[in-house]
Chain A
Amino acid sequence: MHSWKAFQDKLNYWLVISTSIIFASVGSIFLYATLFIWYKLRLNPNWESSWQYLDYVSTMNIIASVPASILVILLIICLQRRSTAIYTASVYTGITLLIPLASLIAGYEKFAVAVITVGASIYQFALLIRLILKKEVLSEKRCKIEKAGSLILHIGYSLIIFSWVPLNGTKHEIPIFWLATIIVLLGTILSFYGSTIFKLYSQK
């Protein structure tokens, strides 16, 4: 029992560190893109008006999608570890990952992104309900409000990606983006200041 808990703790630790490393990797891709643009513009100040720029944009979209996808998959794996209902969580995780994979193979990239982001949002919302119903949700955060905040902000980010990819260019993109922004900021405030809010509320 003790060794299983120690294993889980170690796994959670390395999942979080892996997440940090992947964030840094995605960041390095964007940094490379910045330096690449700088180099190209020094060679040709009109480079952004050329067809090569459009080629660069589509190449970067493909390159960035790989670690971005890994991040979302990691989010779903981390979410799966939040729930104590291990069987249900595992089944849901499997479905949320398999359907997008099949869609990607079939060439429906936007649908794949839609499934994975909506799936992640629903899962996190379900965990939020569990938390409100006073059931256990495993988290690095101690305070319940901070746990809720963490779930809420990740719902927000999932919806942001949903607005950017499947809804890109549609009339729903910006309204969903604004909704997601409010959710992200609310979640961030609760996640960061949850214990302070709780202390102030308790003092009343």
Chain B
Amino acid sequence: MISFSAYHSYRNLLIHLAPYFKVISLFFGILTLIIAIKPPRKFMKLSLVLTLISFAFLTASLILLGVFHNIIFSATYLSIPGLPEPLKLRVPLWIESAKIFFWTLLTVLIQLSFIIFNKNEEAIRITLIATSTMLITTGIFDPFSNPFPQLNQELNNLEAAIQSGLTPASIAYLMNFFYRAKYFYNSQYMWIHPPLLFLSYAFFVLAFPIQFYLLFKKDLNLVLENTSYVLIRSGYLFLTAGMLIGYPWAVEAWQGQSWWWSAKINVSITMWLLYTAYLHARLYIGRKFAGRFSLFLGIISFLLLIFTYLTTYLIPGVHSYA
């Protein structure tokens, strides 16, 4: 049987913690931005310590969310006649209100590795601008103020369906929810496809400010340009893996639906194509036109990444919340 009391209690606890999360995330974001724009004397050490503390804070928040997911897993157990197997909800950590948070966590992790292994002060200063933006954004769109609103609505509907007894309407809802859980929340692809994509987004977000900075420079700083290339190619590997792994999931989950030309799929393919165009143009980075052209493609690709992310909320479709 479903037991919702623990779920509701913990959800309310997270909501109470939201203002603290917001303030701390905004504080670290603004502080990171300040040291990036006006680097102090011991910049490298300070940036390392600040990024480390930010990472520790986000990890602690991740643990709190992990506990919430465990409560959902423990609390939801459905064994209803007609269902092929009992239902247990394994909700991942990168959906709905937690998406920006997860992206930020990965960005800070890569930034930390970057500071430890790269040592190029100028590159670190520029990438910290991206990291600070992510911290500020996650402070504004935090995962605690309204944890998983759509899932919460579904669980409330589930509770209502069970409480109304085994009527045809409630059974229909339960069956629908069961298959939604099977092909969405519990799908093995859910634990591979989105994390790979968010990992790629983290690399791309760090590369973007470098490319934007270089576009307005008269001479192409090849050291900085190479840094952005190294970040983008890592991101591209995870983006390609994530997108390709999404295909068999789509075939399985959206059988009979014309999902191929849906908005989110289209714009993600556009983004991938533009990054592919960038990687090809960059083969001739030494030539003036190819160098500027590749920077331009890299910037457009990132803007498309932002649009890809927002499409989920703006344009309805099988791959959307809108």
Contact = CB atoms under 8 A, between A and B. Distances in A.
A69 interface: no
Contact of A37 (B247, B262, B297): B262
Interface stretch (A17-25, A95-103, A111-119, A130-138): A17-25
Contacts of B317: 37, 48
Nearest to A180: B244
A30 B266 contact: yes
A13 B304 contact: no
Interface size class of A (residues with CB under 8 A): 35 or more
Contact of A57 (B233, B244, B261, B290): B261
Contacts of B266: 30-31, 33-34, 37
B283 A23 contact: no
Contacts of B271: 27
B281 A17 contact: yes
A160 B304 CA distance: 24
A107 interface: no
Given A13-B284, A20-B293, A185 B241 contact: yes
A30 B316 CA distance: 16
Interface residues of B, number: 42
Interface in B49-99: none
A177 interface: yes
B270 A31 contact: yes
Contacts of B315: 34, 37-38, 41
Contact of B261 (A21, A37, A140): A37
B5 interface: no
Interface stretch (B14-22, B115-123, B205-213, B272-280): B272-280
B161 interface: no
B269 interface: yes
Contacts of B107: none
Interface in A172-199: 173-174, 177-178, 181, 184-185, 188-189, 192
Contacts of B274: 23-24, 27
B277 A20 contact: yes
B258 A54 contact: yes
Helix, strand, loop or mixed for chain B's interface?
helix
Contacts of B267: 30-31, 34
Contacts of A17: 281, 284, 289-290, 293
A73 B273 CA distance: 17
Contacts of A16: 280-281, 283-284, 290
Interface string B282-309: 0110010110011001000000100000
Q: Identify the interface centre among B261, B263, B315, B317: most chain A CB within 10 Å of its CB.
A: B261
Q: Identify the interface centre among B244, B258, B317: most chain A CB within 10 Å of its CB.
A: B244
A82 to B, nearest CB: 14
Contacts of A45: 316
Contacts of A189: 237
Contacts of B240: 184-185, 188
A37 B294 CA distance: 29
Contacts of B233: 192
A60 B261 CA distance: 8
A108 interface: no
Contact of B273 (A23, A48, A188): A23
Given A20-B293, A27-B269, A192-B237, A33 B261 contact: yes
Nearest to B281: A20
A184 B261 contact: no
A140 B244 contact: no
Contacts of A34: 263, 266-267, 270, 311, 315
